[in-house]
């Protein structure tokens, strides 16, 4: 076989000679053929594979050269040397025709396979959906906010489109440079942002309130929605922390100080840090939420600034349930808004009693963890609301509502707006409490930031500035409002209608000359200016009335 191969090689014309580097695989094939021709000896007894690299490198044509190759001594050289020299002899250099099978690489030394470069598939760019157009006042605020490096406070009454403006601001700055946050989980969900507590890594460590626990990257622009509900202490901590991480950070905050104040804290605009930040005030004028009912929009603005008349009160009293029994949805009553948690709890219990199905009581989550809780009783078909954030990506945030479908030993299957989810709890930490409450009624504080198609309000026992205005402004038009109890006229209870904080009046004073400045009334006094908190029962027509 070897002689035939060499004979073939010798007949090739010189023009078909190939470079030595290309012929290395051929030399290897010839050397292996030589080994195989020495039958009955095993090929490796002629010379091992480990000798091939040195043979290919030296290409011996004499005994002296062959003795330098690995695995070759005098005996092996005498036996096979002449035949090896014939392979490497320059006078018979292998030159093969194109396509000769000997050109197929057969290198004995292993070579690592070439790694294929992974090319990242470019995701097709999906055009962003068009945003709702901006109103003239929104457009003005947008241009000013984006054209200056100074901090900006964008204010406006309920429904003036602050959420729409935030969408345009985020589209302008891009998510890489801008963080969108809110003081409440419900508002954060609406604007596709995160809560301030989550974004700035708020933790309670050894009874100390701490911000920035862990790694925190501060972007160039921070947007804060519902800033009116932010405490002074939290605002100062967030502002100084952000400035420490990024000295050029710009704050754009939105809110309405005529709405509800923060719990047990002063307004943030009274903080020294607010003054240090030098926020530029921009006001949105036209209400987007109430544009379908201009008269209702004007009435709400008067309630907002405290400049109401008896005709405005009479308009609200025209929406009394007892005066509208023919149109009141008795089978599916609207969401109830109450000023206090106790009234909310009482109404929710009554609503649950109407469901004729087996019930189960679960321990409920409360803050702080040491706070005793009686638990929540649920039934299939009951309306519920989440009480803390579980997963923002899945839409399971504080304030998300749903309907109970199934009760299990340590979980509840709930159908939310986006789909079904199982809410579980275990035996340790806050997870040993079920994060659900009945959702037939809600406090006025809990409704801020939401838009409702219809609502029934009970203003008996209001105790805080902005409560009346927030309760009334949740609906788009007057037809969506139901009033549970007759409201007193101005001469009947002038102090009760003192609903605007003088400090807020002073803050907006330069921008609104029509605000009526009254003396401040403490919360305890305001809560008693109306009648005593009523109790409720069901009458024969399945309507909730007072006694």
pLDDT in tens, the chain (547 residues): 545 554 544 444 444 444 444 455 578 888 888 887 765 667 777 888 888 888 888 888 888 888 888 888 888 888 888 888 888 875 444 444 343 433 334 444 455 566 666 766 766 666 777 888 888 889 999 999 999 889 999 998 887 888 889 999 999 998 889 999 998 877 887 888 888 888 888 776 666 667 765 677 889 999 999 999 898 988 998 999 899 889 899 999 999 999 988 877 789 999 999 999 999 999 888 777 777 788 998 999 999 988 899 999 999 999 998 877 777 777 677 889 999 989 998 999 998 998 999 999 887 755 444 444 567 889 999 998 887 777 767 777 777 888 998 888 878 888 887 666 666 654 434 445 778 889 899 999 888 878 888 899 998 888 889 999 999 998 889 998 999 989 999 998 877 787 888 889 888 874 444 444 444 444 444 444 443 333 333 333 333 333 2
pLDDT at position 469: 92
Question: How far is Cα 397 from Cα 152, in angstroms, rounded to an integer?
Answer: 28
Question: How far is Cα 332 from Cα 330, in angstroms, rounded to an integer?
Answer: 6
Beta-carbon contacts of residue 216 (< 8 Å; ≥ 6 apart): 200, 201, 241, 245
pLDDT at position 310: 94
Q: Are residues 350 and 423 in the same domain?
A: yes
DSSP assignment of 373-407 equals ---EEE-TT-EEEE-S-SBTTTTB-TT-EEEEEEE
| Last-in-domain residue among 61, 84, 103 | 103
Beta-carbon contacts of residue 340 (< 8 Å; ≥ 6 apart): 443, 461, 463, 533
| Last-in-domain residue among 284, 315, 334 | 284
Going from the C-alpha of 304 to that of each of 137, 229, 499, 514, the distances in angstroms are 19, 16, 8, 11
Q: Are residues 368 and 491 in the same domain?
A: yes
Contact yes or no for 497/308 (Cβ under 8 A): yes
Burial 134-150 (b: 16+ CB within 10 A, else e): bbebbeebbeebeeeee
Q: Are residues 536 and 476 in the same domain?
A: yes
pLDDT at position 14: 45
Would 122 be classed as within a structural domain? no
Would 26 be classed as within a structural domain? yes
482: which strand partners?
456
Q: Are residues 36 and 173 in the same domain?
A: no
pLDDT at position 289: 75
Please report, for the domain that includes residue 36, its CATH number: 1.10.150.80
Q: Are residues 315 and 268 in the same domain?
A: no
Would 124 be classed as within a structural domain? no
Q: Are residues 365 and 463 in the same domain?
A: yes
Would 289 be classed as within a structural domain? no
Question: How far is Cα 233 from Cα 255, in angstroms, rounded to an integer?
Answer: 18
Domain residues for the domain of 10 are 2-103
Please report, for the domain that includes residue 253, its CATH number: 3.40.50.300
Q: Are residues 219 and 352 in the same domain?
A: no
Q: Are residues 264 and 334 in the same domain?
A: no
Q: Are residues 359 and 483 in the same domain?
A: yes
pLDDT at position 373: 53
Question: How far is Cα 285 from Cα 298, in angstroms, rounded to an integer?
Answer: 11
Would 523 be classed as within a structural domain? yes
Q: Are residues 351 and 500 in the same domain?
A: yes
Would 131 be classed as within a structural domain? no
Going from the C-alpha of 407 to that of each of 149, 303, 356, 440, the distances in angstroms are 53, 44, 15, 19
Would 294 be classed as within a structural domain? no
Q: Are residues 166 and 221 in the same domain?
A: yes
Question: How far is Cα 254 from Cα 227, in angstroms, rounded to an integer?
Answer: 6
| Last-in-domain residue among 51, 82, 103 | 103
Q: What spatial distance separates the first Cα and last Cα of the chain, rounded to whole Å?
A: 115
Strands (E), 142-191: 152-156, 178-182
Cα 354 vs. chain centroid, distance in angstroms?
37
Cis peptide upstream of residue 180 (ω within 30 degrees of 0)? no
How many domains in the chain? Answer: 3
Q: Are residues 507 and 393 in the same domain?
A: yes
Question: How far is Cα 226 from Cα 196, in angstroms, rounded to an integer?
Answer: 11
Would 360 be classed as within a structural domain? yes
């Amino acid at each position: 076989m070897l002689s035939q191969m060499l004979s073939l090689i010798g007949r090739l014309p010189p023009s078909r000679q190939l470079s030595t580097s290309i012929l290395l695989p051929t030399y290897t094939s010839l050397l292996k053929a030589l080994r195989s021709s020495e039958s009955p000896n095993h090929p490796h007894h002629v010379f091992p594979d480990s000798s091939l690299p040195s043979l290919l490198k030296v290409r011996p044509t004499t005994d002296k050269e062959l003795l330098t190759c690995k695995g070759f001594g005098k005996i092996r050289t005498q036996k096979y040397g002449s035949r090896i020299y014939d392979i490497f002899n320059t006078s018979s250099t292998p030159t093969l025709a194109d396509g000769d099978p000997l050109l197929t690489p057969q290198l004995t030394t292993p070579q690592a396979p070439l790694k294929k470069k992974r090319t990242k598939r470019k995701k097709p760019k999906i055009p962003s959906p068009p945003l709702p157009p901006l109103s003239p006042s929104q457009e003005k605020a947008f241009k000013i906010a984006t054209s200056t490096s100074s901090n900006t406070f964008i204010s406006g009454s309920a429904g003036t489109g602050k959420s729409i403006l935030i969408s345009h601001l985020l589209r302008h700055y891009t998510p890489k440079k801008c963080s969108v946050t809110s003081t409440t989980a419900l508002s954060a969900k609406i604007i596709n942002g995160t809560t301030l507590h989550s974004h700035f890594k708020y933790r309670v460590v050894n009874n100390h309130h701490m911000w920035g626990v862990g790694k925190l990257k501060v972007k160039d622009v921070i947007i804060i929605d519902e800033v009116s509900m932010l405490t002074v202490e939290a605002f100062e901590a967030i502002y100084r922390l952000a400035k420490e991480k990024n000295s050029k950070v710009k704050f754009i905050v939105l809110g309405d100080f005529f709405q509800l104040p923060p719990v047990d804290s002063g307004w943030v605009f009274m903080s020294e840090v607010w003054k240090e930040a030098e926020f530029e005030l921009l006001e949105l004028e036209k209400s987007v939420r109430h544009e379908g009912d201009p008269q209702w929009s004007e009435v709400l603005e008067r309630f907002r600034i405290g400049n109401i008349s008896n005709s405005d009160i009479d308009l609200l009293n025209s929406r009394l349930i007892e005066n509208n029994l023919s149109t009141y949805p008795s089978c599916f009553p609207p969401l109830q808004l109450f000023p206090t948690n106790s009234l909310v709890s009482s109404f929710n219990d009554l609503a649950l009693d109407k469901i004729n199905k087996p019930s189960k009581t679960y321990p409920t989550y409360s803050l702080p963890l040491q706070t005793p809780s009686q638990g929540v009783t649920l039934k299939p078909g009951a309306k519920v609301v989440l009480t803390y954030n579980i997963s923002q990506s899945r839409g399971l945030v504080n304030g998300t509502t749903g309907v109970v479908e199934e009760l299990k030993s340590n979980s509840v299957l709930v159908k939310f707006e986006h789909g079904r989810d199982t809410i579980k709890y275990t035996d340790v930490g806050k997870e040993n409490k079920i994060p659900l409450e009945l959702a037939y009624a809600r406090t006025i504080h809990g409704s801020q930031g939401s838009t409702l198609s219809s609502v029934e309000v009970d203003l008996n026992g209001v105790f805080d500035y902005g409560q009346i205005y927030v309760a009334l402004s949740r609906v788009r038009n007057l037809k969506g409002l139901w009033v549970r109890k007759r409201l007193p006229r101005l001469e009947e209870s002038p102090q009760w209608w003192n609903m605007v904080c003088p400090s807020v009046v002073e803050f907006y004073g330069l921008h609104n000359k029509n605000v009526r400045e009254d003396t401040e009334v403490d919360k305890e006094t305001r809560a008693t200016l109306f009648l005593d908190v009523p109790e409720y029962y069901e009458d024969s027509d399945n309507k909730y009335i007072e006694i």
